[in-house]
């Protein structure tokens, strides 16, 4: 294998691993996530409090606290891929792929439908979240998406383009960037805490690959191919979402909860909506024809942009959360089940079980641990810490996705939050 091919292979592997070691999705099972939730593996339905209840279970706002909680700032980032892990990266990086069938072994790791890369990031701005009594006002800015790269380019790079074989170059993807503001309220009704969240969502950008049909074939004397990719995009829209939740606190201190996130939710895209068609043609490419006509005359490509006649809408995936929690001595233990109803963006039809523990002891530094199975992540393990300094609180957490063994993970997520709780006394009515 010559040095240039080795360089391309190594470059591709580095890009995939750097992009893919981590939601996105994340993409994760929900949009709003804080370090305490992440550190407990997502087992958060019954234990989220204050404005952290929003997007998880708004009924928890009914657990009234005698302070005002304010977000200073919060940042989350996650990225992962569908197949390549840290173990494979270390195994194949710098290795001679010509030996011991390593090329075939590496190609076997990439699914026939292609390599998918998921990403998700969110920023909750300074003083963008606040809760008091049983109410909360929240804001969020987030970007989530998925891109699928066809397997064929990897096959051609590793093995060359085999004569008479049609290589599929079909690709896919969807991404969404938006900002939102919401109002949430929780209270006691008939022995149960119940709550809701209503949000207004400003869509900032959206794209999806609606269709793709592309191929490349090498005949005995030439290379031919053609393809087109049809995308739908928008630069703005307006939408809404609505969550409901329920929490029951038993006499023994155990908590049981259920929530429907995005029970109603959609974005109507209306600004600069376009249908974009990218296409290419490879016209009997060989050395003789390149010498006569030039490469540019034989390999052509362009795009056509057509304004869409009207608006279009995208539904926000719905999530069902069911959870329970209790305390044992100085440890909080929580168990959740999360079920999505579609396989797109942050949702998966594969249910997810999460188990989380938080040891708070006598210190001002709670320690958190979480483990989960199912959902988009498959397997996930997480750790987190909390620090308390006067009225300020710093929480951090990270998780590894795809495996419980660190060497086999195919993704990660990181979250950090700084917030404050300011006490007050209620006045008599």
Q: How many domains does the chain have?
A: 1
> Measured between alpha carbons, how far is 216 from 220 in angstroms, rounded to an integer?
14
Indicate if the pLDDT at residue 12 is higher than 90. Answer: no
Indicate if the pLDDT at residue 285 is higher than 70. Answer: yes
Residue 21 in any domain: the answer is: yes
> Measured between alpha carbons, how far is 407 from 410 in angstroms, rounded to an integer?
9
pLDDT of residue 94: 67
Residue 65 in any domain: the answer is: yes
> Measured between alpha carbons, how far is 254 from 328 in angstroms, rounded to an integer?
10
Of 418, 419, 414, 421, the residue nearest 122 (C-alpha): 414
pLDDT of residue 79: 85
pLDDT of residue 280: 85
> Measured between alpha carbons, how far is 137 from 58 in angstroms, rounded to an integer?
12
Polymer length of the chain: 429
pLDDT of residue 11: 45
pLDDT of residue 130: 96
- Dihedral angle over CA of 307, 313, 314, 319, nearest 10: 170
Domain CATH for 186: 2.40.160
* CB contact at 8 A, 62 and 134: yes
Of 155, 172, 65, 64, the residue nearest 118 (C-alpha): 172
Residue 428 in any domain: the answer is: no
The pLDDT-based confidence of 115 (bands split at 50, 70, 90) is confident
Indicate if the pLDDT at residue 54 is higher than 90. Answer: yes
Residue 342 in any domain: the answer is: yes
- Dihedral angle over CA of 341, 345, 351, 356, nearest 10: -140
**For range 40-60, the mean pLDDT:** 95
SS3 assignment for the chain: CCHHHHHHHHHHHHHHHHHHCCCCCCCCCCCCCCHHHHHCCCCCCCCCCHHHHCCCCHHHHHCCCCEEEEEEEEEEEEEEECCCCHHHHHHHCCCCCCCCCHHHHHHHCCCCCCEEEEEEEEEECCCCCEEECCEEEEEEEEEEEEEEECCHHHHHHHHCCCECCEEECCCEEEEEEEEEEEEEEEEEECCEEEEEEEEEEEEEEEEEEEEEEEEEEECCCCEEEEEEEEEEEECCEEEEEEEEEEEEECCCCCEEEEEEEEEEEEEEECCCCEEEEEEEEEEEECHHHHHHHCHHHHEEEEEEEEECCCCEEEECCCEEEEEEEEEECCEEEEEEEEEECCCCCCCCCCCEEEEEEEECCCCCCCEEEEEEEECCCEEEEEEEEEEEECCEEEEEEEEEECCCCHHHCCEEEEEEEEEEEEECCCCCC
Among 7-21, 99-113, 124-138, whose mean pLDDT is lowest? 7-21
Residue 220 in any domain: the answer is: yes
Of 204, 206, 185, the residue nearest 196 (C-alpha): 185
Residue found by looking up tokens 């699928």 in the block: 148
| Structural domain for 337, as ranges | 3-423
Among 20-34, 206-220, 237-251, 395-409, whose mean pLDDT is lowest? 20-34
Residue 429 in any domain: the answer is: no
Instruction: For residue range 124-178, list pLDDT tens digits in order.
Output: 888 899 999 999 999 999 998 888 888 888 888 777 778 888 888 888 889 999 9
Cβ neighbourhood burial of 338 (10 Å; 0-12, 13-18, 19+): buried
423, two tokens: 């006490």
Q: Above pLDDT 90, what percent of the chain? A: 45
Q: What are phi and psi of 123, to 5 degrees?
A: -130, 125
**For range 371-390, the mean pLDDT:** 89
* CB contact at 8 A, 146 and 201: no
* CB contact at 8 A, 105 and 83: no
> Measured between alpha carbons, how far is 403 from 336 in angstroms, rounded to an integer?
19
366, two tokens: 């709670």
Question: Across 109-123, 273-287, 327-341, which has the greatest mean pLDDT?
Answer: 327-341
pLDDT of residue 31: 59
Cβ neighbourhood burial of 281 (10 Å; 0-12, 13-18, 19+): middle
Indicate if the pLDDT at residue 426 is higher than 60. Answer: no
**For range 78-95, the mean pLDDT:** 75
pLDDT of residue 97: 66
The pLDDT-based confidence of 91 (bands split at 50, 70, 90) is confident
**Angle, in degrees to the nearest 10, between helices 3-20 and 152-159:** 150
**Cα-based distances in Å from 129 to 35, 49, 273, 396, 416:** 15, 13, 32, 18, 15
The pLDDT-based confidence of 22 (bands split at 50, 70, 90) is very low
| Mean pLDDT of the chain, nearest integer | 84
């Amino acid at each position: 294998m010559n040095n240039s091919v080795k360089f391309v292979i190594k470059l591709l592997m580095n890009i995939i691993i750097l992009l893919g070691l981590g939601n996105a999705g994340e993409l994760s099972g929900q949009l709003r996530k804080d370090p305490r939730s992440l550190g407990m593996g997502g087992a958060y339905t019954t234990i989220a409090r204050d404005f952290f209840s929003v997007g998880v279970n708004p009924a928890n706002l009914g657990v009234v606290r005698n302070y005002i909680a304010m977000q200073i700032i919060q940042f989350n980032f996650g990225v992962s891929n569908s197949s390549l892990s840290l173990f494979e990266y270390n195994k194949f990086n710098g290795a001679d792929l010509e030996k011991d069938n390593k090329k075939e072994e590496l190609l076997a790791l990439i699914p026939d439908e292609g390599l998918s890369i998921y990403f998700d990031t969110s920023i909750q701005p300074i003083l963008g979240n606040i809760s008091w009594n049983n109410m909360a006002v929240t804001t969020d800015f987030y970007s989530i998406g998925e891109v699928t790269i066809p397997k064929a380019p990897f096959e051609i790079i590793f093995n060359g383009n085999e004569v008479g074989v049609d290589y599929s170059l079909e690709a896919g993807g969807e991404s969404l960037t938006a900002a939102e503001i919401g109002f949430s309220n929780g209270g006691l009704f008939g022995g149960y805490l119940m709550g809701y969240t209503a949000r207004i969502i400003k869509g900032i950008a959206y794209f999806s690959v609606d269709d793709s049909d592309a191929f490349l074939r090498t005949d005995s004397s030439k290379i031919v191919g053609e393809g087109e990719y049809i995308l739908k995009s928008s630069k703005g829209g307006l939408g809404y979402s609505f969550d409901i939740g329920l929490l029951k606190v038993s006499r023994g201190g155990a908590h049981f909860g259920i929530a429907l996130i995005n029970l109603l939710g959609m974005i109507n895209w209306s600004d600069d909506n376009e249908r974009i068609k990218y296409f290419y043609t490879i016209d009997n490419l060989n050395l003789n024809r390149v010498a006569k006509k030039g490469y540019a005359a034989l390999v052509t490509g362009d795009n056509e942009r057509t304004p869409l006649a009207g608006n279009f809408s995208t539904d926000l995936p719905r999530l069902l959360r069911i959870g329970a929690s209790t305390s044992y001595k100085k440890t909080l233990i929580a168990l959740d089940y999360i079920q999505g109803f579609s396989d797109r963006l942050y949702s998966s039809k594969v249910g997810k079980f999460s188990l989380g523990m938080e040891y708070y002891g006598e210190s001002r530094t709670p320690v958190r641990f979480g483990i989960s199975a199912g959902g988009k992540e498959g397997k996930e393990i997480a750790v987190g810490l909390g620090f308390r300094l006067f009225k300020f609180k710093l929480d951090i957490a990270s998780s590894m996705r795809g495996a419980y063994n660190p060497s086999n993970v195919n993704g990660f997520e990181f979250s950090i939050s700084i917030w404050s709780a300011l006490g007050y006394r209620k006045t008599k009515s």
